[in-house]
Amino acid sequence: MAFPSARAARLGLSPTGPLRALWWLLQSPRWAAVITAIVAAMALVGVVLPQLPFWARGDAAAEAAWLAQQRERFGATADWLWRLGLLDVFHAPWFAAGLGLLVASTTAYVVGRLPGVWANMVRPRLRVPDSYFATAPHRFASDVPAEVAALESALRRSLYRVVRFREGPVTYLFADRFPWAQAGTLLGHGAVALFVVAAAIGSADSFDTALLIPEGASRPVLPTVASPRQMLVRVEDVVGRFDATGTPLEYRSELVIYRQGEEVRRCQVTVNSPCSYDGYRFFQAGYFGYGADVQVRDLVTGDVLYRETLALEFQRTAPYLLARDASGRRVFEGTVPLGEPVRLDLGQGPVDVSFASLTVGGRSYLLGLWQDEKGRPRVAVASGQGPPDVVIEEGGRAQAGGLEWEVVRVDRVPAALVQGFPLPPDRGGDGALLQMTNVAYGTANASEGGRVPVAGLPGDPTLYILGPDQRPLALRPGESARVDGYEYTFLGQREFAGIQVRRDRSDLLVWVAVGLLMAGLAMALWLPRRRLWARIGPRGTALAMQGWPEVGLEREMQRLLARAGAPARQEGGKDA
Domain that holds residue 336: 295-494
Residues 128 and 109 grouped into a single domain? no
CB atoms within 10 A of CB 525: 12
d(CA 486, CA 476): 18
Does 228 map to a domain?
Answer: no
β partners of residue 173? 164, 534
d(CA 473, CA 471): 6
Question: Which of 563, 565, 567 has its CA nearest to residue 157?
Answer: 563
d(CA 412, CA 337): 10
What CATH number did the domain enclosing 534 receive? 3.30.160.110
Residues 438 and 407 grouped into a single domain? yes
d(CA 310, CA 500): 19
Distance separating the N- and C-terminal Cα atoms of the chain: 63
Give the pLDDT score at 267.
94
> Which of 84, 102, 117 delimits the end of a domain?
117
Residues 56 and 150 grouped into a single domain? no
Give the pLDDT score at 569.
62
Does 99 map to a domain?
Answer: yes
Angle subtended at Cα 368 by Cα 364 and Cα 371, rounded to the nearest 5 degrees: 165
Does 281 map to a domain?
Answer: no
Residues 464 and 480 grouped into a single domain? yes
Give the pLDDT score at 245.
64
Does 103 map to a domain?
Answer: yes
Does 285 map to a domain?
Answer: no
Residues 128 and 108 grouped into a single domain? no
Residues 86 and 139 grouped into a single domain? no
Give the pLDDT score at 2.
44
CA distances from 302 to 164, 294, 308, 328, 504 (A): 100, 16, 17, 47, 47
The pTM of this model reads 0.57
d(CA 235, CA 212): 10
Give the pLDDT score at 22.
81
Residues 79 and 134 grouped into a single domain? no
Residues 163 and 35 grouped into a single domain? no
Grouped pLDDT means (10 residues each) for the chain, 576 residues: 46 61 80 84 86 72 82 88 88 84 81 80 89 88 87 90 92 91 80 77 74 90 81 90 72 92 92 89 87 93 92 88 91 88 80 88 88 88 80 91 91 88 83 86 44 61 90 92 94 89 82 87 82 90 81 78 73 54
Residues 100 and 140 grouped into a single domain? no
Does 188 map to a domain?
Answer: no
Residues 108 and 172 grouped into a single domain? no
Residues 112 and 128 grouped into a single domain? no
Residues 299 and 359 grouped into a single domain? yes
Sign of the alpha-carbon dihedral angle for 270, 273, 275, 278: positive
Give the pLDDT score at 448.
37
Does 365 map to a domain?
Answer: yes
Total domains in the chain come to: 3
Question: Which of 211, 279, 190 has its CA nearest to residue 514?
Answer: 190
Does 463 map to a domain?
Answer: yes
d(CA 488, CA 466): 12
